[in-house]
């Protein structure tokens, strides 16, 4: 999968990044920061999954921004610049701006979560929390095994039921009754399945002793570097972004967006998945004594 280098980093690094991106994303409606968060999360999603899934997610996000913007401007009349007045309702520009910023903030968080889903697969999550909470993490894995299984079971139950008795009663009530029947069958089958799964678990020693966790991820020097940079950036943002966000007001008038170093540190932090790619540029054989030789050989084979 072409997921980029960032996804190959130790889950703790990825988790810290997403916690920071989502946490800071939620904490401010400052237009510049919201715009940065939106564009970075969008860019990362395109990078991870390509344009098409991105546009599909955007299809959800844009209406959200519009909806929140309109809703806020309708119910929050604290602004000074009145655009429309209609009876007791007044729509003011400030309310609209605030609403759009809020919608943008929600959209950015949604996009970050979409990225999170791509990068932080189930196994990484369980790896991070599994050793502390073996039972919980096992439950998470089992549920994630169980869902696709139930879906395919459901399809087969639905097919056989529709083929046999679907033709008899096409009314709403008939369909409802068949739905209830299908749920009953699924519960029965599910219990039957889970008895066997439980057998399979205990046959392989489940509950025999304290569980350990299989570790698939290792901590390298590069993890230290990226983690360090990330921590510094987060600290910087905790100062700069929070100060900027606190100083910015929408009411009664939208304040002017002042230039700030915070934009740069925020962009750098959110850009972590991009700047870690710079490692590709590093020449892998630099400094080694047989550099020249391997250079020509790699050159011959390695170019595509």
Binding residues for other proteins (CB under 8 A): 122-123, 126, 134, 138, 141-142, 144-145, 148-149, 152-153, 156-160, 162-169, 181, 184-185, 188-189, 192-194, 196-197, 199-216
Find out whether 71 and 84 touch, Cβ atoms under 8 Å. no
For other proteins, the closer of residues 158 and 222 by Cβ is: 158
Distance CA(161)–CA(182), nearest Å, equals 8
* Cβ 194 to other proteins shortest distance, Å: 8
Find out whether 109 and 25 touch, Cβ atoms under 8 Å. yes
* Cβ 9 to other proteins shortest distance, Å: 17
* Cβ 190 to other proteins shortest distance, Å: 10
For other proteins, the closer of residues 52 and 286 by Cβ is: 52
Query: 281 by DSSP, 3-state: which?
Result: helix
For other proteins, the closer of residues 136 and 142 by Cβ is: 142
* Cβ 167 to other proteins shortest distance, Å: 8
For other proteins, the closer of residues 1 and 283 by Cβ is: 1
For other proteins, the closer of residues 149 and 292 by Cβ is: 149
Q: Give the pair of three-digit tokens for residue 225.
A: 């570097």
Query: 86 by DSSP, 3-state: which?
Result: strand
Find out whether 240 and 260 touch, Cβ atoms under 8 Å. yes
* Cβ 7 to other proteins shortest distance, Å: 13
Distance CA(274)–CA(43), nearest Å, equals 10
Neighbour-count burial of 257, counting CB atoms closer than 10 A to its CB (0-12 exposed, 13-18 middle, 19+ buried): middle
With CA atoms as reference, report the closest residue to 11 among 283, 195, 159, 219.
219
With CA atoms as reference, report the closest residue to 53 among 117, 125, 121, 120.
117
For other proteins, the closer of residues 1 and 300 by Cβ is: 1
Residue 35's Cβ-side half-sphere holds a number of Cα atoms within 13 Å equal to: 7
* Cβ 213 to other proteins shortest distance, Å: 6
């Amino acid at each position: 999968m072409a997921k980029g280098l960032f996804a190959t980093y130790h889950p703790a690094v990825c988790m810290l990044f997403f916690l920071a991106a989502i946490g800071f994303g939620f904490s401010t409606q400052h237009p510049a920061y919201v715009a940065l968060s939106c564009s970075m999360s969008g860019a990362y999603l395109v990078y991870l999954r390509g344009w098409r899934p991105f546009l599909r997610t955007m299809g959800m996000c844009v209406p959200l921004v519009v909806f929140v913007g309109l809703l806020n401007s309708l119910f929050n009349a604290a602004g000074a610049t009145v655009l429309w007045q209609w009876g007791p309702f007044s729509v003011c520009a400030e309310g609209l701006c605030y609403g759009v910023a809020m919608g943008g903030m929600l959209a950015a968080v949604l996009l970050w979560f979409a990225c999170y889903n791509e990068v932080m697969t189930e196994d990484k999550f369980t790896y991070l929390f599994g050793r502390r909470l073996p039972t919980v993490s096992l439950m998470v894995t089992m549920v994630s095994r169980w869902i696709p299984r139930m879906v395919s079971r459901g399809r087969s139950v639905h097919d056989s039921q529709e083929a046999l008795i679907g033709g008899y009663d096409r009314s709403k009530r008939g369909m409802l009754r068949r739905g209830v029947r299908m749920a009953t069958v699924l519960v029965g089958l599910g219990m039957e399945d889970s008895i066997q799964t439980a057998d399979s678990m205990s046959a392989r020693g489940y509950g025999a002793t304290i569980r350990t966790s299989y570790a698939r991820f290792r901590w390298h020097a590069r993890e230290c570097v990226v983690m360090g940079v990330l921590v510094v950036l987060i600290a910087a943002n905790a100062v700069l972004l929070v100060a900027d966000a606190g100083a910015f007001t929408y009411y009664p008038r939208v304040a002017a967006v002042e230039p700030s170093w915070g934009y740069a540190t925020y962009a750098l932090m959110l850009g972590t998945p991009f700047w870690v790619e710079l490692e590709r540029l590093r020449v892998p054989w630099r400094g080694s004594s047989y550099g020249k030789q391997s250079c020509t050989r790699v050159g011959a084979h390695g170019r595509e």
